[in-house]
């Protein structure tokens, strides 16, 4: 498989998953604002190291699941149910989120590195996210579970994550001024995305049983 495709897919999925304002990227930006680039990049380095292992473990887990067609279709059915419920929740039930201030105290570069690892490690979203993404891409023959493709995909995840963190660091003031506006529409954005995923998943399920 061409190395460019898994690299790009890893990059794109990481950007989509990390770009909404969250604790890790906003903390990276605030560390830069209060303590400078060195501490901010040290924080980001710690975060992306954990993201690398999370993505790699997720894809290894997805490889095991992908070898069992019965489990794959079961996961699709479960995924359809989950994404349908998430769509209903974000579009009709959830309240508009508010941006929370990240409290930053003066710390050393080394401590910022471990803080990045800690916050990233406490974020369990990447594992199920990359499991679902890799299985979905594999079902369309856009991704294979070869070691070279896995490492290339995960490298793309690291590059995409690093780029998003860098953009938050470099353009924090612009991001901060628009973050509240973005968050007001975040439920609609997330609900639309989960709704689209639910529809695609349903089409795959129908195709599996009646295709």
The DSSP call for residue 197 is: H
Q: State the alpha helices, DSSP H only, in 19-67.
A: 23-35, 37-66
Q: What is the CA radius of gyration of the chain?
A: 18
- pLDDT attached to residue 161: 95
Of 56-65, 115-124, 178-187, the one with minimum mean pLDDT is 178-187
For residue 164, the model assigns a pLDDT of 92
Please, are residues 181 and 35 in contact by the beta-carbon 8 Å criterion? no
pTM for the full predicted model: 0.74
As for how many domains the chain has, the answer is 1
Which is more confident, 135 or 42? 42
Which of 27-31, 53-57, 194-198 is predicted least confidently? Answer: 194-198
Instruction: Tell me which of 58 and 191 has the higher pLDDT.
Output: 58
Choose among 116, 122, 102, 121: nearest CA to 34. 102
8 A C-beta contact, residue 176 and residue 29: yes
Among the listed residues 19, 137, 139, 131, the one whose alpha carbon sits nearest the alpha carbon of residue 82: 131
Of the two residues 155 and 109, the one the predictor is more confident about is: 155
User: Which residues contact residue 30 at a Cβ distance below 8 angstroms, ignoring those fewer than 6 apart?
Assistant: 102, 104, 172
Q: Tell me the pLDDT tens digit for each residue of 98-132.
A: 545 545 555 677 889 999 999 999 888 888 889 88
Confidence of residue 180 (pLDDT cuts 50, 70, 90): low
pLDDT band for position 151 (cuts 50, 70, 90)? very high
Domain that residue 131 falls in: 4-101+108-210
For residue 75, what are its two tokens? 């996961």
Give the pair of three-digit tokens for residue 172.
């924090």
SS3 category, 2: coil
CA angle 159, 179, 50 (to 5 degrees): 30
Across residues 38-50, what is the average pLDDT? Answer: 94
pLDDT (0 to 100) of residue 98: 54
In the predicted model, is pLDDT for residue 26 greater than 70?
Answer: yes
Dihedral of CA 75/76/81/87: which sign? Answer: positive
Cβ atoms within 10 Å of 185's Cβ, excluding its own: 11
In whole numbers, what is the pLDDT of the chain averaged over residues? Answer: 81
């Amino acid at each position: 498989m061409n190395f460019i495709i898994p690299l790009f897919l890893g990059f794109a999925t990481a950007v989509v998953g990390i770009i909404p304002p969250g604790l890790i990227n906003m903390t990276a930006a605030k560390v830069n604002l209060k303590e400078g680039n060195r501490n901010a990049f040290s924080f980001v380095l710690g975060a992306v190291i954990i993201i690398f292992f999370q993505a790699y473990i997720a894809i290894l887990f997805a490889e095991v699941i992908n070898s069992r067609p019965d489990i794959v279709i079961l996961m699709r059915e479960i995924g359809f149910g989950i994404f349908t419920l998430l769509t209903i929740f974000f579009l009709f039930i959830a309240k508009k989120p508010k941006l929370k201030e990240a409290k930053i105290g003066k710390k050393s570069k080394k401590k910022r590195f471990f803080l990045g690892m800690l916050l990233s490690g406490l974020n369990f979203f990447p594992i199920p996210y990359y499991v679902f993404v890799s299985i979905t891409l594999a079902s369309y023959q856009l991704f294979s579970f070869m070691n070279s493709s896995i490492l290339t995909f995960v490298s793309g995840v690291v590059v995409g994550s690093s780029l998003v963190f860098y953009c938050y660091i470099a353009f924090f003031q612009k991001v901060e001024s628009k973050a509240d506006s973005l968050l007001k529409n975040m439920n609609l954005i997330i609900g639309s995305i989960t709704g689209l995923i639910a529809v695609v998943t349903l089409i795959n399920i129908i195709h599996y049983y009646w295709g």
